[in-house]
Chain A
Amino acid sequence: MLKTVIPFGPQHPVLPEPIHLTLTVEDEIITEAFPALGYIHRGLEKLVEIRDVHQMIQVVERVCGICSMIHAMCYCQGIEDIMGVEVPPRAEFLRVIWSEIHRMHSHLLWLGLFADSFGFESLFMQFWKIREKILDIDEATTGNRIIVSVNDIGGVRRDMNSEQLQWMRVELAEVETELKELGKTLLGDYTVKKRTVGKGVITKTQAYELGLAGPTLRASGVAQDMRMLGYAAFNQLAFEPVVETEGDCYSRSKIRFRELLQSIDLIRQAVAKIPPGEIKAKVRGRPDGETVSRVEQPRGELLYYIKANGTKNLDRLRIRTPTFANIPALLSMLPGMWLSDVPVIVLSIDPCISCTER
């Protein structure tokens, strides 16, 4: 049969950020997919040569807007590890709360975009409507909707009073009710299942061998979540990773939906257990040594390799984001699928190209 090569992206209605795929198709079945990057590489890691250890917090927050808080937390945890800084318990709980808020608005953003990828516009609109409430919580507690700038080396910059914490619980209860209602459509609707079940399947073995991360990994049956490391205050909360076994687009959306409810539960636990006290430890001196810091971003495992040399500038900052780990999976997910499935499958890994290229 005649082979046709079709360019997909970098500009495509379904892609929030630019990535290019060269798709080889026979009839309308994909036989080969080849990704190309490089449209938004900024070289942010190199800024360590001119920005000092503290200024780099603002830089890493801008690696990705959607999970800015978690990038900064990962970076600060790395520097704190090198310098032996003990973060106050209250700050650890606040980090958990804000990181779960960020996970929620990222997953809600994705669920909307995912619904859009198969043409379910009203579902897209409803998820984004709920997301506004989460962004309101961000704004009320940090002063900003997306780039919240709450992390600092040694703790956090802002505190939450008890009224704010209780108000947040009430808001999240409303969000939970609305989500459960919407979940019936996302997980039970015939159209959604028709477009997602059995699409872009990755087996458990493939997922492990390809080094996948986050919901993409857990949807294939691997129970790995960096929150199991117990960083920040996660070691004081009841936590089990959300796992599905089918490894298809439907499983990946189910994981993210269930993680939304899990985040609400984690925030409730954190609000109930948050201790009084300081929110930031005093930090003296300059870091010297190397470390690897890992946290769970909405898209999966985020890794920072930090090498310091005792001066105000780091020797090296290397950021491995989850989308970078998940892109090789597209080479296995796409062959054998219909051309019309490409937007859904590409979206199912929740690609963040700003993160990937940095």
Chain B
Amino acid sequence: MLKDIFPVSIDTVVGETAKIKVDGYRFVTISCTARDENTLEILYHFDKELRLKHLRLTVLKDTAVPSISAVYFAAFLVENEIQDLFGIHFEGLAIDYDRTLYLDEEVTFAPFCKYTVMKSLNEVDPSTPESGAMGKSKEL
């Protein structure tokens, strides 16, 4: 089971990450989970001599989260992935793909948010530019 998890907030996540880097930890990855309709949980994983340490950040869906890519450059890729799949906006990304790492530009919904449902094809209004089979989504 998961051990060594430390809660952080939006204000402290970058500072805590910087401390972890000073302590000699290697960046491993970030995991994002949709907790409920409005909340997402972001877990930052770090490793030092095969021992993992995790920071847990709970945020509202529409909140912008500061990027840790200024501390660990390698984080830019996974932060872009989360931006694509969960629709979170990361501020200050070292390289920002603007939600096109995996997705096409016209996709506006977050495919990994399980509380998001797509409109079926017959609900799509072809007159609106954002619409399309992959276009608009409807929040539950």
Task: List chain A positions with a Cβ less than 8 A from chain B.
Answer: 34, 36-38, 41, 43, 45-46, 49, 81-82, 208-211, 224, 226, 228-229, 289-292, 294, 301, 303, 305, 307, 315-316, 318, 320, 324-325, 327-328, 357
Contacts and interface: CB of A to CB of B under 8 A. Distances in A.
B77 A292 contact: no
B60 interface: no
Contact of B33 (A38, A46, A316, A327): A316
A324 B77 contact: yes
Contacts of A305: 31, 43, 45
A210 B33 contact: no
21 contacts: A38-B101, A43-B85, A43-B111, A46-B112, A81-B1, A208-B26, A209-B72, A211-B27, A211-B29, A224-B50, A226-B50, A291-B1, A291-B2, A294-B52, A301-B28, A305-B31, A316-B34, A318-B33, A320-B29, A328-B77, A357-B102
B19 interface: no
B118 interface: no
Given A226-B50, A292-B52, A316-B33, 17 more contacts: A38-B100, A38-B102, A43-B111, A43-B112, A211-B28, A211-B74, A224-B50, A289-B2, A290-B2, A291-B1, A292-B54, A303-B28, A318-B32, A318-B33, A320-B45, A320-B78, A328-B77
B29 A328 contact: no
Interface in B16-71: 26-29, 31-34, 43, 45, 50, 52, 54
Given A211-B74, A224-B50, A291-B2, A320 B102 contact: no
Contacts of B78: 320, 324
Contacts of B33: 307, 315-316, 318
A229 B50 contact: yes
A210 B2 contact: no
Interface in B87-119: 95, 97, 100-103, 111-112, 114
A170 B26 CA distance: 41
A328 B73 contact: yes
Nearest to A305: B31
Contacts of A318: 29, 31-33
Which 7 residue pairs spanning A and B have beta carbons closest together?
Answer: A320-B29, A211-B27, A318-B31, A41-B102, A305-B31, A316-B33, A38-B102
Interface string B109-138: 001101000000000000000000000000
Contacts of B45: 292, 303, 305, 320
Contacts of A291: 1-2
Interface of B: 1-2, 26-29, 31-34, 43, 45, 50, 52, 54, 72-74, 76-78, 85, 95, 97, 100-103, 111-112, 114
A250 B104 CA distance: 37
A224 B78 CA distance: 22
Question: Which of A211, A224, A315 neighbours the largest number of chain B CB atoms within 10 Å of its CB?
Answer: A211
A327 B101 CA distance: 13
A324 B29 contact: yes
A37 B72 contact: no
Contacts of A211: 26-29, 72, 74
A43 B114 CA distance: 12
A281 B69 CA distance: 43
Contacts of A229: 50
A143 B105 CA distance: 44
A6 B27 CA distance: 31
A174 to B, nearest CB: 35
Nearest to A208: B26
A325 B72 CA distance: 12
A293 to B, nearest CB: 10
Contacts of A294: 52
B52 A210 contact: no
Contacts of A36: 97, 101
Nearest to A207: B26
Contacts of B73: 209-210, 328
Nearest to A304: B31
A294 B45 CA distance: 12
Contacts of A226: 50
A38 B98 CA distance: 13
B74 A316 contact: no
Contact of B102 (A34, A37, A328): A37
Contact of B1 (A38, A210, A289): A289
A325 B112 contact: no
Contacts of B100: 38
